[in-house]
Structure 1
Amino acid sequence: MYHHDRLGKDAGERRLLLRRYIRSGEISLGGYKKAKIYGLLTCSSGKKMKVANRVFFRDEVEALQHGYRPCGHCMPEKYKQWKGQLLQK
């Protein structure tokens, strides 16, 4: 898991490193650490959050291992599955 605010010394360095990690496949999902939600990097909800609250994951397995749940906005099917599992408990 990568914390956006720890990727570099300033916004420019963070932007460069983030692009490099996305292109190399080290990052494929973003997350909101306050609510422990993960979603697609293209999600409009995720783009609105503060840098201090943003985290990134290599894949869905990593996000789930850290206790994050799918975003209902950009991953509705995954969210429905997650919600269904909660209701069964």
Structure 2
Amino acid sequence: MTFTLLGADGLPYVSETPGTLGGHRRQRIYGRLDCPAALRAIARGRYTRHRVFFADERTAIAAGYRPCAACLPAAYHHWKITTR
């Protein structure tokens, strides 16, 4: 089985290993695969069209995504105070 992940350059690539983080392409946000906010959006029929996956947090950040405030509050807080 193969998986499509986003690389640090923001381009998709095929991987034999599934991603550890999910994200939303339009919002440029990443978070845990079990994020309650993302799961609610998916249940309402939204989000999946723009869903992306990352191998790890370093790759998500390099691709220009920010942490999710709902499932990664500490990382989000750090991002918020360092990007102002």
TM-score, with structure 1 as normaliser? 0.67
Bigger radius of gyration: 1
| SS of alignment partner, residue 83 of structure 2 | helix
Count residues with an aligned counterpart.
Answer: 67
**RCO higher in structure (CA 8 A, sep ≥6):** 2
Are 2:38 and 2:47, in contact at CA under 8 Å, matched by a contact in 1? no
- Structure with greater helix share of residues: 1
C-alpha distance in 1 between matches for 2:47 and 2:63: 20
Q: CA deviation at 1:2?
A: 2.3
> Match for 2:73: what amino acid?
P
- Structure with greater strand share of residues: 2
Residue 60 of structure 1 corresponds to which residue in structure 2? Answer: 57
1:82 counterpart = 2:79: yes
TM-score, with structure 2 as normaliser? 0.71
Identity among equivalent positions (%) equals: 37
> Match for 2:32: what amino acid?
L
C-alpha distance in 2 between matches for 1:67 and 1:29: 14
| SS of alignment partner, residue 39 of structure 1 | strand
Are 2:23 and 2:31, in contact at CA under 8 Å, matched by a contact in 1? yes
C-alpha distance in 2 between matches for 1:41 and 1:56: 9
